Amino acid sequence: MAGAGDDARFLCDIESRLVEDAQNTEQVTDTLTWLGDIYSLVARQQPDEAADVLFDHVDDLLLEQQFQSCDDLLRTIDLKRLDRNLLIALLSITLSAKEALPYRPRLLERTRARLTSSDPGRVDRLLDGLD
């Protein structure tokens, strides 16, 4: 079982990779900012705006073929801070690049577990076609 120290090291490793992969520090800051924006919008019950931010930025990563950065995002995004629609949106937008995103199957598993606890009777329908 991973502890807080393991989580911190993992996040530090990811941050290091993001910095290495990014063309400049501004891009890394932008990623952290828009992810924070999504969390804030969800907390303020503005799911449509949160979905717009998610789609815009993940789509940009995929169009720029920044698959490692996108995969790192899938690893680190806090699913507990996203609502059901954003979980589905994240799986939907990354579906076309699933072969380039090694963590995506794990994200699908984590999403399935989360939805099983909140919407047990609808999980299969919600996730249909997203694997």
Q: Which of 120, 95, 116 is nearest to 105 (CA)?
A: 95
Task: Return the amino acid letter for 10.
Answer: F
Q: Which of 79, 66, 83 is nearest to 30 (CA)?
A: 66
pLDDT in tens, 71-80: 989 998 999 9
Prediction pTM value: 0.75
pLDDT in tens, 14-47: 777 766 665 544 555 566 688 889 999 999 999 9
Which positions ≥6 away from 67 have C-beta within 8 Å?
A: 61, 97, 100, 101
